[in-house]
Amino acid sequence: MDGVKLADRLAYGAGCAARRAGFLHDAYRVDGPVQPLDLSRRFLRLCVAFVLPGGNVGAPAGFGVPFRQAWADWGYLRAGDYLAGPEGVAFVAAIEPPKPMLVVMTNAVVDLLRPAVPVLAGLNQYGAITRGTETILLSKFPASLLVGGVGDRTKVGLPDDTKVPGFMAMLPVVAGVTPQVADVVLDEHGQKFLVTAVETLNAVWRFSLVQAVS
């Protein structure tokens, strides 16, 4: 049996397992920087079974653990696709047969913004980030957004300044978009986070963030 046939049989077997143990999910393919879960981007409905990393099915997922293994017929899927079903929304991080897929469970919907650069020093209008002065790089993307990484103190410099919490975010890589340090992540609740580092891990962007304060 050649490699192509073996990969096809492995995908078929994973699909059979998912039909017995999983739930029906809608699959969406990202084809641009706006609203990946729009109905026009749904291309498939299939069964998916999520288990914890390591294959543990006898324990609940711990808080702050976004990764899952997923059994499904991955022959129809590719890294970066979203899966939406009764257990929430996830995106495919890696497909490496014969292992099950690695997916990231999401808990937020975010925009990625780039603040406008001042034109002339000292002669600009109000310099804070406003909805009229930034470029929208990504819009309405489900993401994993969790407390973690390195925080920072507020910039006033007083001894009793509170520490701004650090966060980590993960999103699928989108062609044509290049995140940078100092970009801004805005979630569906209006919270703003400043990007302090960006790491590309195959089909996944991992952001280090600091929560913005007024």
Domains belonging to the chain, first-starting first, are: 3-105 (no CATH), 108-211 (2.40.10)
Inform me whether the pLDDT recorded for 191 exceeds 90: yes
pLDDT of residue 120: 52
More confident of the two residues 52 and 120: 52
3-state secondary structure of 122: coil
Give how far the C-alpha of residue 94 lies from the chain's centroid of Cα atoms, to the nearest Å.
Answer: 13
Q: Which tokens go with 1?
A: 């049996």
Question: How many Å apart are CA 187 and CA 169, to the nearest integer?
Answer: 11
Q: What percent of the chain has pLDDT over 90?
A: 60
Q: Which tokens go with 86?
A: 């009764």
Mean pLDDT of 142-153: 80
Q: What percent of the chain has pLDDT over 70?
A: 78
Predicted confidence (pLDDT) per residue in 92-137, tens digit: 999 988 888 999 999 999 999 999 865 455 555 444 555 567 899 9
35-39, 116-120, 172-176, 186-190: lowest mean pLDDT where? 116-120
Q: Which range is most confident: 6-10, 151-155, 195-199?
A: 195-199
Minimal CA–CA distance to 164: which of 145, 151, 155? 151
Mean pLDDT of 154-164: 57
Mean pLDDT of 70-93: 95
5-9, 22-26, 187-191: lowest mean pLDDT where? 5-9
Minimal CA–CA distance to 170: which of 88, 106, 124? 106
User: What are the E-state strand segments in 54-165?
Assistant: 67-71, 82-85, 88-94, 101-105, 108-115, 134-147, 152-153, 163-164
Give how far the C-alpha of residue 155 lies from the chain's centroid of Cα atoms, to the nearest Å.
Answer: 29
Tell me the average pLDDT of the chain. 85
Q: Which pLDDT band, with edges at 50, 70 and 90, does 22 fall under?
A: confident
Q: Which pLDDT band, with edges at 50, 70 and 90, does 37 fall under?
A: very high
pLDDT of residue 8: 76
pTM > 0.75: yes or no: yes
Decide: 191 and 211 in contact? Cβ < 8 Å: yes
Mean pLDDT of 185-189: 97
Give 44: exposed, middle or buried? Use CB within 10 Å, 0-12, 13-18, 19+: middle
44-48, 76-80, 95-99, 137-141: lowest mean pLDDT where? 95-99
Looking at the DSSP bridge assignments, the partners of residue 32 are none
Question: How many Å apart are CA 118 and CA 128, to the nearest integer?
Answer: 11
Which residues have C-beta within 8 Å of that of residue 129, sequence separation ≥ 6? 113, 115, 184, 192, 212
